[in-house]
Amino acid sequence: MSIRYNVHSIGTNPLAKSVICSACSACSAIILAVTFSTAVLADNTPVSEKPKAATSAEQVVAPYLREDAPVFNLTAAQFREKFNAAYPHMALAEYKPIKTPEVKSPLTRAASRINSTLYSSVALDKNQRTIRSLQLTYIPAEPTEEKTEKAETLAKTEKINRATLTNYIAAFINLFEPTLTAEKSQQKATELLAKGKGAPFYQQTEGTLRFVIADHNEKGITFAIEPIKLSLSDK
C-alpha cells in the first residue's frame, strides 16, 4: 500500500476510512493524513514539480513514518505556545489526541480545529512526544439541502477560506524560517499551493525543511512541514 497525505470528510464517503477525534467531536471532517498516493522520494533526491505516479515496486514508506525519521525539537504544546505568541490573531486551540487503530505505529496524533473548514494536526514521535510532521488540512464546506447559496456567494466564501489557508501556511513557514520576511513567507505559501495544485503529492525541500502539498481537489488540501536529514554533501 502506498503512503499518502489524505483528507476525508466524515459521513460523506461510506467507503473511506476516517479518523474521528474524540476530543473534537464537533469537527465535521477530518484529520490526519497517513498515506500518499504517490511514492515519497528519498530526502536527497531531486524532486520534479509534478512527480509521476509510482508503480507498486516504487512505493515506499513516507519519511515521517520511518523509525529514524527526524523530529522538530518541539512538542505540540510548545509549538502552539510559540505560534500563539508570534501570531496572537491566528491563535491555535489546544491539540487534542486522536484515537487511531495503528497500535504498532511509532506515532501518536493530535489535532486542533481552527474553523469549520481548517484544521491543524501533528504526527508525534511516540517516545519523545516531539513533532515529526506538522500539517494543515483544508476541507471545503459542503452545500446542504437546507442551505442553497448562489454560485457567486459560494465562490466568495471559497476564496476567503483559501486565503485563510494560505495565511496559516505562510505563518507556519515563517515560524520555522524566521529569516524570511512575512511577504516572502506569503509568496512561498502561494507558490506551494500553485505548484501542488491537483497533485496528490508535491514536495519542496529548503535547507532542513520539507514542504508538502497533497491536493485532493474537492475533498480538500493538506499542507505539511517536516524536518529532513542533510547528507554530508549538503552541509
pLDDT higher at 55 or 93:
93
In terms of residue numbers, what domain contains 192? 22-234
Average pLDDT over residues 176-203: 95
Indicate the number of domains in the chain: 1
Has residue 199 been placed in a domain? yes
Has residue 68 been placed in a domain? yes
Has residue 164 been placed in a domain? yes
Dig out the grid coordinates for 66 from the structure.
520511518
Q: Identify the pLDDT of residue 175.
A: 97
Q: Kindly state the DSSP code that residue 147 receives in the 8-state scheme.
A: -
Strand, coil or helix: what is 160?
Answer: helix
Average pLDDT over residues 215-219: 90
Q: What count of other Cβ atoms lies within 10 Å of the Cβ of residue 9?
A: 18
| Amino acid at site 121 | S
Of 38-47, 53-62, 102-111, 148-157, the least confident = 38-47
Average pLDDT over residues 193-202: 94
Strand, coil or helix: what is 210?
Answer: strand
Alpha-carbon span 45 to 43, nearest angstrom: 6
Q: In the sheet that 221-227 helps form, which strands lie side by side, from edge to edge?
A: 96-98, 107-113, 118-125, 131-138, 221-227, 209-215, 202-206
Has residue 192 been placed in a domain? yes
Contacts of 160 (CB under 8 A, 6+ apart): none
Q: What is the mean pLDDT of the chain?
A: 76
Of 2-6, 91-95, 203-207, the least confident = 2-6
Has residue 195 been placed in a domain? yes
**Model confidence at 198: pLDDT above 60:** yes
pLDDT higher at 199 or 30:
199
Strand, coil or helix: what is 16?
Answer: coil
**Model confidence at 79: pLDDT above 90:** yes
**Model confidence at 144: pLDDT above 80:** no
Has residue 108 been placed in a domain? yes
Has residue 16 been placed in a domain? no
Q: What count of other Cβ atoms lies within 10 Å of the Cβ of residue 191?
A: 12
Q: Identify the pLDDT of residue 13.
A: 30
Average pLDDT over residues 40-69: 51
